[in-house]
A and B are shown apart, each in its own frame.
Chain A
Amino acid sequence: MKFSDEFETRFSEMVGHYPTKRSVLVPTLLYAQDEVGFLSDEVIQEIAGRLQLTVLDVRNVISYYSLLTTKPRGKYNVQVCTNIACMLRGGEELFTHCKKRLGIGHKGTTPDGMFTLEEVECIGACSWAPAVQVNYDFHENLTPEKMDKVLENYKKKGTQ
């Protein structure tokens, strides 16, 4: 199992920040997932080994956090917020629009592996609702038309 140099530098730096090794677990899992795409058995084994934890212990933590996934996802994870502030400004319509547009449902992935769609809870963009996060990028004050442009741009970026 090999991670990038950037990952390794960050990992060894972070381990020094805490009195116990396992404290780095949650952010480390997220960074590992960003590199590999999901938390594969191999990744889990590797991180468990480094932190002297059991695989079960690591899986137990993974299952708690909604950003962490053990299943492969598309290149771009389209996370549509439908929580109250977004709902009041068309978040549900936006989610329905994305479902139709991408031809997939909640947690589905397009056959070309480009997009995964997810209905998510509050992402902290309430005053700029409705909002969507694609991977880590925020897109705010959206309409179905603006959403189409956002998706088109990612598709272009992804096929380059």
Chain B
Amino acid sequence: MADLVSHPDEIRVVSKRFGKGATNIDRYLELDGYKAVQKALGMEPDAIINEVKNSNLRGRGGAGFSTGMKWSFVPKQSAKPKYVLCNGDESEPGTCKDRLIFEHDPHSVIEGVMIAALAVGSQTGYIYIRGEYRYLSITMQKAIKDAYARGFLGKNIFGSGKDLEIYWHGGAGAYEVGEESALMESLEGKRGIPRIRPPFPAVVGLWGGPTVINNAETLASVPHIMLGGAEWYSNLGPPKNGGTRLFCLAGNLAKPGVYELPMGYNLKKMIYEVGGGIPNGHSLKAVVPGGSSTPVLLPNEIDVAMDFDSLMKAGSMLGSGGVVVLDDSNCIVKFALRTMKFYQHESCGWCIPCREGTDWLKKTLTRFHAGGGVKKDIDNIQYLSENMLGRTFCPLGDAAAMPTIAFVKKFRKEFEDHLEGRPCPFEKEGAVQELPVLTH
């Protein structure tokens, strides 16, 4: 069980029921549970989609695409069954928010899937939870069972004449599967290799049927939008960035934790006030604002609103909401290396630029950090990364390249300080040890 935190600036929407026993279906019903789906049952599918569009809810998995827009791409008529797939394969380093939703409010995810299904005319939904979250899959299976027992799922839901089945599905350890097309492959019982697009999942998805895929936090936000209204939700954040977001504050902070703050909340304030600042007399060195794949920000770049558009303008991304803070005792080369080791380990190997690029970059950075780097390596790291961008089936190649380009660009001097046999200036014993290499 992960600890909960709070801060006066929080606006609790998705986390409204955290710590209130809402895994129990009766408690969930007391706390306005399953009211939103009943409201949606009385609406036309297009009206649901419009409500979600107008709320300016954007995908919480990282890409930030308009949720309502995504739903509207699903064809009205389809010879093949349509599906709704909830992505709970949370595994972007720095991100630990969906875990809390599943732990404290599993019915809100079920209700979100139900509303999505009504909006696109689907009769089957799947909630995919990563294999490491076994205790949460147990929570979710019970929640689904309870919803069936009450007649909220199955045949003739809420006496509406509509049928809707929702099932749980489990992974077995793979970051790549968090990517939508790889997620579908995994659910179909295969290796999580991404599919080429177009066609997009909204047209050709699970078993060839039109499929809506949304992140768990996105879907858990939907019932609140249906009850509170699009205008209320949209106004919580800046224009075109509706609502709130679960920000996972991690790294060198006095008060790390998952806080729900309005979209557009100032990053500096988030670090120094909500997160309690940098402890142990250290100062801020860098921030990775939205999970390991987002480009790093320097201390003079953090006076920025945490919404999709503002961070894009600042040269980074809001991503998955994982805010990783580094203090001045950390070596950026080592941090870049650890990030790349992750991507090298998780690359599925399908696309050559990603498979070879991440491996080459990992080897170069390992050698570099150990003092065996030469000057042209720095440009080579940049060149390799740039050549991975946009050349792969899925964004894993980009996710590895983008932060690396930013590390080199913004901390070039620190890379130069490691050159030609000089020991890493940050290693405590003064001697560089080769980091343990992960093999699988």
**Taking beta carbons and an 8 Å cutoff, which residues of A are in contact with B?**
17-20, 22-27, 29-30, 51, 60-61, 64-68, 82-85, 87-89, 92, 95, 106-107, 119, 121-129, 133, 136-138, 140-141
Contact = CB atoms under 8 A, between A and B. Distances in A.
B131 interface: yes
Contacts of A136: 132, 134-135
Q: Looking at B165, B167, B258, B330, which has the most chain A CB atoms within 10 Å of its CB?
A: B167
Contacts of B135: 136-138
A128 B258 CA distance: 9
18 contacts: A20-B189, A23-B187, A60-B191, A64-B174, A66-B440, A83-B292, A83-B338, A83-B342, A85-B324, A89-B251, A121-B438, A122-B95, A124-B90, A124-B130, A126-B250, A126-B256, A128-B2, A137-B135
B132 A124 contact: yes
A79 to B, nearest CB: 8
Contacts of A23: 169, 187-189
Given A61-B191, A85-B322, 9 more contacts: A22-B190, A23-B169, A26-B171, A27-B170, A64-B174, A67-B173, A83-B292, A124-B95, A129-B250
Given A64-B348, A84-B93, A84-B94, A119 B131 contact: no
B96 A126 contact: yes
Contacts of B175: 121-122
Contacts of A95: 436
Nearest to A88: B251
B33 to A, nearest CB: 24
A138 B170 contact: no
B131 A30 contact: yes
Nearest to B89: A124
A126 B191 contact: no
B257 interface: yes
Contacts of B258: 127
Contacts of B346: 121
A129 B256 contact: yes
Given A126-B250, A129-B250, A22 B172 contact: no
A26 B330 contact: no
A127 B257 contact: yes
A124 B99 contact: yes
Contact of A119 (B96, B98, B436): B436
Contacts of B192: 64
Contacts of A61: 189-191
B326 interface: yes
B411 interface: no
B93 A88 contact: no
B338 A87 contact: yes
B91 A84 contact: no
B15 interface: no
Nearest to B440: A66
User: Lowest 6 CB-CB distances: which A-B pairs, in order?
Assistant: A67-B173, A25-B189, A22-B189, A66-B173, A65-B172, A136-B134
Contacts of B439: 106-107
Interface string B227-257: 0000000000000000000001111100011
B99 A65 contact: no
B342 A122 contact: yes
A129 B323 CA distance: 13
